[in-house]
Chain A
Amino acid sequence: MTNQAGGGRPPPPPPSQSYAGLLSELMTNTLDADYEVVASRRSAATGASPQGESGGDPRSGWSNRAGIVAAVTAFGVLVGVSAVKTAQDQPQATAERAQLIEQIEAGQARLDDLHGDLSALQADIGRRQQEQAGEASAASRRTDDLQHLAMSAGTAAVTGPGMVLNLDNARHAVPGAGGLILDSDVQALVNGLWVAGAEAIAIDGHRLTALTSIRFAGQAITVDYRSLTPPYVVEAIGNPDTLPSRLLETQGGQLWLGLRANYGITFETQTESTITLAGDAYNNLLWARPVGSR
C-alpha cells in the first residue's frame, strides 16, 4: 500500500554530503548552513536582488544588535576568564613545583646530615672500642701489679726454685746449755736469707710477711703467734745457685755455722727446683689506710 503510494514519486536525492568523506566534508562545509538558508530566504522575501547583511532587513534592530553584543561580550568574558584561570593556575603549579624541589633539597640535606652523624657515630664507636681495649689492658696490667705486690707482701701463694733448711735443737740439749735454738737465732737466719736474696720465706709452712713476728714464748719459738716445735723447716725461694753460698756469707749464716760447730745444732741446707709457699691468710690491716684516701 504504502509502497504503491510512495512508488509513484521518485525518491528524493540523497544529500550531497553523504557522498563525501567525513574529513572532506569537514574541510569544505565550514560555515554554518543557516547563514545561507537565512540569506536565501531573505532574498526570496525582499526580492531577487540580495541585500547587504543588514541593509533593508526589517528584523535588524536594537534587539538583534543587543544579541550580538551579548554574544560577543560573553565570548570576551570566556576568553578573559580562561586567561585569568590559566594565569592563576600557572603560579600555583610553579609554586607546587618549587615546593617539591624545596622538599627534595631539604630531604637531601637531612640525608647528608644523617650520613655525617653516621660517620661521626662510627668514629665514636671505633674510639670507644679502642678505649675499652686500653682499659682492658690497663686492668690486666693492674691485676699483674696486684699479683706482684701480693707476692712481695706475702699474701699470695708463690712457687719457684729455692732452698730448704732443716733446723733442730742439739741432742740432749738442756736449757741454758746453748743447744737450744733461740728466737734470735731464727731471726738472724731469716735476716740472712733476706740479705742473701730470698724472695719469699716460710717457717714450718708459715709465710713470713712484713707483720710476721718471730718470738720466744716458754720453751717454743712462735712464728706469727703460733708455737712451733723442733725440728724447724725453713723454706726460701730465690736463686738456688747463689742463695746458699750468699747465706753463709751473712751474719746469720755465720751464726748458724757457729751454732752447728759449737753446740751440735742441726743446720742442713739443700736446694730444691720447685718450692711452693702458701700465702699468709692473716694479713688484714685493721687501721692502716693508703695515704690520700679516707
Chain B
Amino acid sequence: MIAIIGLLIGVLAGLFLEPTVPLALQPYLPIAVVAALDAVFGGVRAHFDGIFDDKVFVISFFSNVLIAALIVYLGDQLGVGGQLSTGVVVVLGIRIFSNVAAIRRHVFHA
C-alpha cells in the first residue's frame, strides 16, 4: 500500500514539477525506465513468491537503472549505442514478460 502511494507521489511529482533533465542524461531516460520496470516487476513477483526482501529490491532497483544507463553510455562511447540499447531493451523486455507471466499465474491461478 505504502509502495503504491509512493509510486503515485513520484508520478505526480514527475508530471507536475517537471524537473529539468540534463541534456547529457536524456538518452538514458527511456532505458532507465525499462530497467526500473524490470526491477519493480521482479519485486512484485518475489512478493507473490513469498521471498520479497526490502533490501534486495532497493539494491536491485538502483543497480538495474545504473547498469542499464552505464551499458548504453558505454555503447555511445563505442559508437554502438543504438544497438546496445536495443539489446538491453530486449533482455529486460523478456524478463519483464516472464515476471508478468509469473505474477499472472499467482493472481489468476492460471
A224 CA / B42 CA spacing, docked (Å): 133
User: Inside 8 A of B51's CB, which chain A residues have their CB?
Assistant: 35-36, 38-39, 50, 53
Footprint of A on B, CB under 8 Å? Answer: 2-15, 18-19, 21, 26, 29-30, 32-33, 36-37, 39-40, 42, 45-47, 49-62, 65, 91, 94-95, 98-99, 102
Task: Establish whether residues A54 and B52, one from each chain, have CB atoms under 8 Å apart when the complex forms.
Answer: yes
Please tell me if the beta carbons of A52 and B14 are within 8 angstroms of each other in the complex: no
Contact B99 A30 (CB under 8 A): yes
CB distance from B94 to the nearest CB of A (A): 5
Interface size, chain A (Cβ < 8 Å): 38
Which listed residue (B6, B42, B98, B99) contacts A76, Cβ 8 A?
B6
Binding-face segment, A3-11, A57-65, A193-201, A253-261: A57-65
A273 to chain B, nearest CB (A): 105
List which A8-36 residues lie within 8 A (CB) of chain B: 26-27, 30-32, 34-36
For A26, list chain B residues within 8 Å (CB).
Answer: 91, 94-95
A32 CB, min distance to chain B CBs, angstroms: 5
Question: Chain B residues with Cβ under 8 A from A80's Cβ?
Answer: 10-15
* Distance to closest chain A CB from B6 (angstroms): 4
Which one of A27, A34, A52, A83 contacts B15 once the chains associate, using CB atoms below 8 Å?
A83
What's the Cα separation between A82 and B30 when bound, in Å? 7
Beta-carbon contact of B8 and A76 below 8 Å:
yes
B106 smallest CB distance to A (angstroms)? 12
Q: Select which of A36, A42, A77 is within 8 A of B13 by beta carbon.
A: A77
Q: Tell me the total A-B contact number using a CB cutoff of 8 A.
A: 154
Q: How far is the CA of A27 from the CA of B26 in the complex (A)?
A: 30
B7 near A75 with CB under 8 A, answer yes
Identify whether the interface residues of A are mostly helix, strand, loop, or mixed: helix
A74 contacts the other chain (CB 8 A):
yes
- In the assembled complex, the CB of B13 is this many whole angstroms from the nearest CB of chain A, namely 6
Contact check, A54 vs B29: say whether CB atoms are below 8 A apart: no
User: Does the CB pair B62–A71 fall under 8 Å?
Assistant: yes
Identify the closest chain A residue to B53 (Cβ): A38
**B37 partner residues in chain A, CB cutoff 8 A:** 75
Q: Mark A75-100, 1 if CB is under 8 A from B, else 0.
A: 11111111111000000000000000
Contact between A68 and B6, CB atoms less than 8 A apart: yes
Given A27-B94, A30-B94: A72 and B55 interface contact (C-beta under 8 Å): no
A38 to chain B, nearest CB (A): 5
Q: Choose one: A31, A52, A68, A84; the contact of B2 (CB below 8 Å).
A: A68
Chain A minimum-CB-distance residue to B90: A26
Since A67-B58, A74-B65 are in contact, a sample of 5 more A-B pairs with Cβ atoms closer than 8 Å, ordered by chain A residue number, is A27-B98, A31-B42, A73-B6, A77-B11, A78-B10
Q: Does A149 contact B (CB under 8 A)?
A: no
A123 at the interface (CB under 8 A from B): no
Residue from B3, B47, B50, B56 within 8 A of A34 (CB atoms): B56
Instruction: Name the contact of B61 in the complex, choosing from A31, A54, A71, A82 (C-beta under 8 A).
Output: A71
- A/B interface sample: 16 pairs, CB < 8 A: A30-B45, A30-B98, A31-B46, A36-B51, A50-B50, A64-B55, A67-B57, A69-B5, A71-B62, A72-B7, A73-B6, A74-B65, A75-B7, A78-B65, A82-B30, A84-B15
A70: Cβ under 8 A from any B Cβ = yes
Flag if B95 contacts A78 (CB, 8 Å): no
- Assess whether B56 is in contact with A35, with CB atoms less than 8 Å apart: yes
Contact pick for B40, options A54, A67, A72, CB 8 Å: A72
Q: Whole-angstrom distance from the CB of A93 to the nearest CB of chain B?
A: 15
Q: Which one, B8, B36, B47, B98, contacts A53 given CB within 8 A?
A: B47
Q: A31-B99, A53-B51 are in contact. Are A68 and B36 (CB under 8 A)?
A: no
